[in-house]
Amino acid sequence: MSRPLRTISSGTFFITAITHNRWRLFQSAANARLFIDTLQHYRREGLYKLHAFVVMPDHIHLLITTDDLPKAMKHIRGGFSHRLASKFEVWQRGYTDHFIQSREDFESRREYIHQNPVFDRLCQRPEDFPYSSAYQQPNVRD
pLDDT value at residue 95 = 96
- The answer to whether the pTM exceeds 0.85 is yes
Residue 105 lies inside a defined structural domain of this protein: yes
DSSP state, 91?
A: B
pLDDT band at 62 (very low <50, low <70, confident <90, very high): very high
Q: Report whether pLDDT(59) > 50.
A: yes
> Residues 105, 108, 113, 117: what is their CA dihedral angle, to the nearest 10 degrees?
-160
Structural domain count of the chain: 1
Q: Read off the CATH number of the domain in which 60 is found.
A: 3.30.70.1290
Residue 78 belongs to domain spanning: 11-128
State pLDDT tens for residues 12-46: 999 999 999 999 999 999 999 999 999 999 999 99
Mean pLDDT of 8-15: 93
Three-class DSSP labels, 24-44: CHHHCHHHHHHHHHHHHHHHH
